[in-house]
Structure 1
């Protein structure tokens, strides 16, 4: 029995098709999250599908996919390079989107991306809009993060992170999730999620869903794709979550303010309809990490994804 099964209290079976994780529940209790099209998740920088095995492991979107499956959704988590450019990650994701379409017989998918997953899912809309019903960016680096710009401009910080991140953490992550051949390049990753890199990407691939200021973008663009986003503006939310608290001090240092979730500024995450941009959540809280630790009275991330699935369902997606 997996760690998620123990905590959620129901049986969830997981199958892998190449790099793809499909979570199914043996106990479907409602159709609240049963969307017309499959929901496909994409992780961010240093992300993964699952670390460990099906019998004992931890998912990136912690407890989220089993909950959605229990509420009637068809859900998949994709596995792309932890450290790479948006374009390369996007091509990896596109292969898995095609696989989802082949497995399910669906014509489109609902894509949800966290952090660097935001621009990555947007890449699918750019190259294959006919395969996309909706995009949901959660704390997405839609307009980049100044943290990445600062690291790129600091030789010592970039060298240290390259050693630790590119040559240790990312390869170990890929090995633990069963795909050690995934390429990793820290500089490509940082350039893609930097404010400068994001501006260049958005200039090359403009979208009415991306607002010019801190307002909302266009919810439904001319290609018929729906767009949503949400984020938080908290850094330290649980004193026991020491890893998250440490990571979440980077953006306040870069921006000299706390109008961010610790890694991405609030306004830079906006895409389409902004559901809310000031949740009491840090960057990792928004995927229910680490191990579900968060502020005592903050929104439950698992419930937020369930509500988003229902929102998509009510839109006929």
Structure 2
């Protein structure tokens, strides 16, 4: 099976997107501690496809965000899940870490925040161990899949050489982050979960928080096995946001797959909807949503760091 130059370019773009997201090493400026983000339950940040917690303990996926949340009183954990595996595989990794944190620090519940594939990943945890989850917030979550995976998945599955080479690169990312399941990294498996069909199968098993209408909003509070959990979602719909940001060029290679559908370069606007949709058209692309690369968002766009503080403050005000 041949792999067209267009799809090769798109695949390279997808694989490079998260890798370039960790170029920044600068530490956030210190300031007096606040209480804006001082929630009842700790916050857990969960990265997306081809993502990481931190590279060599220095480069954060959520750039400048954990430290700023902590400066405002939040207790923040950063999950380390496989960069390229199924939602269920990543979800089980997250659950094991949550149980370890709960036992070690006496934590009763967590406020989960997932970006991209991290969205379905945190939903898996909420559906599997609901007693440990207070809220689920997703940023550009791949809840209904992405057409990028629909296009690339069959090609990757049909080309063992390509899948092997791409997976090897992803294993390097996993190894650099210290993830303990590096050998299980598999690009084809991840793309299957991220596809429209894969997402539909997953949603049938974990429906809590689902939109009640097509491209609509879902309930803010949903019951999962008798446990009330709050669900929120957000996303951007920009692609080229800053001429100095290399990720703009990368995402410009994948955005055409969406045709006329608003998207952030990797996830369509409607696919990001889950639970109460707070806002689905921020002037951000897929990496701006996590304040990457180097915080170079578009001129006039909202500050992603301030956004995360605002969302955690929303959780605080809700008593979470």
Same fold (TM over 0.5): yes
2:42 touches 2:76 (CA, 8 Å); kept in 1?
yes
Give the match for residue 290 of structure 1.
293
Give the match for residue 18 of structure 2.
none
CA gap 1:281/1:74 in 2 versus in 1, 3 angstroms: same
- Secondary structure of 1:8's partner? coil
Shift of 1:285: 0.5
- Secondary structure of 1:225's partner? strand
Give the match for residue 71 of structure 1.
72
CA gap 1:158/1:202 in 2 versus in 1, 3 angstroms: farther
Give the match for residue 179 of structure 2.
179
Shift of 1:142: 0.8
Shift of 1:102: 1.8
One of 304, 311, 314 as aligned partner of 1:311 = 314
- Secondary structure of 2:151's partner? helix
Higher relative contact order (CA 8 A, sep 6+): 2
1:143 touches 1:269 (CA, 8 Å); kept in 2?
yes
One of 235, 243, 250 as aligned partner of 1:239 = 243
1:244 touches 1:290 (CA, 8 Å); kept in 2?
no
2:82 touches 2:181 (CA, 8 Å); kept in 1?
no
CA gap 1:163/1:127 in 2 versus in 1, 3 angstroms: same
Give the match for residue 271 of structure 1.
274
Shift of 1:4: 7.7
CA distance, structure 1, for counterparts of residue 111 and residue 299 of structure 2: 31
Shift of 1:240: 1.4
Spell out the pairing of 1:151-190 with structure 2 (5 A cutoff): 151-154=152-155, 162-168=163-169, 170-179=170-179, 181-182=181-182, 183-190=184-191
1:118 touches 1:140 (CA, 8 Å); kept in 2?
yes
In structure 2, the gaps of 5 or more residues are 1-22
CA distance, structure 1, for counterparts of residue 259 and residue 178 of structure 2: 40
CA distance, structure 1, for counterparts of residue 196 and residue 25 of structure 2: 39
User: How high is the TM-score relative to the length of structure 1?
Assistant: 0.87
CA distance, structure 2, for counterparts of residue 284 and residue 153 of structure 1: 25
CA gap 1:253/1:161 in 2 versus in 1, 3 angstroms: farther
Write out per-residue CA displacement over residues 50-90 of structure 1, whole angstroms, 9 at most, x where no aligned residue.
1134xxx2100000000000000000100010000001100
Give the match for residue 19 of structure 1.
none
CA gap 1:163/1:242 in 2 versus in 1, 3 angstroms: farther
CA gap 1:303/1:160 in 2 versus in 1, 3 angstroms: farther
Shift of 1:205: 2.5
List structure 1 runs of 4+ shifted beyond 6 angstroms.
Answer: none
CA distance, structure 2, for counterparts of residue 136 and residue 255 of structure 1: 24
CA distance, structure 1, for counterparts of residue 156 and residue 138 of structure 2: 31
In structure 1, the gaps of 5 or more residues are 11-26
Write out per-residue CA displacement over residues 246-297 of structure 1, whole angstroms, 9 at most, x where no aligned residue.
13431x3222125011111101101111110000000111001111111011
CA distance, structure 1, for counterparts of residue 25 and residue 85 of structure 2: 32
Shift of 1:153: 2.9
User: How high is the TM-score relative to the length of structure 2?
Assistant: 0.86
CA gap 1:315/1:31 in 2 versus in 1, 3 angstroms: same
CA distance, structure 2, for counterparts of residue 94 and residue 84 of structure 1: 15
Spell out the pairing of 1:125-274 with structure 2 (5 A cutoff): 125-154=126-155, 162-168=163-169, 170-179=170-179, 181-182=181-182, 183-222=184-223, 223-250=227-254, 252-274=255-277
CA RMSD of aligned residues (A): 2.0
Write out per-residue CA displacement over residues 188-224 of structure 1, whole angstroms, 9 at most, x where no aligned residue.
1001111110011112322243344111101101231
2:261 touches 2:269 (CA, 8 Å); kept in 1?
no
Give the match for residue 52 of structure 1.
56
Spell out the pairing of 1:65-104 with structure 2 (5 A cutoff): 65-104=66-105
Give the match for residue 15 of structure 2.
none
- Secondary structure of 1:123's partner? helix
Write out per-residue CA displacement over residues 210-243 of structure 1, whole angstroms, 9 at most, x where no aligned residue.
3441111011012310000100000011111123
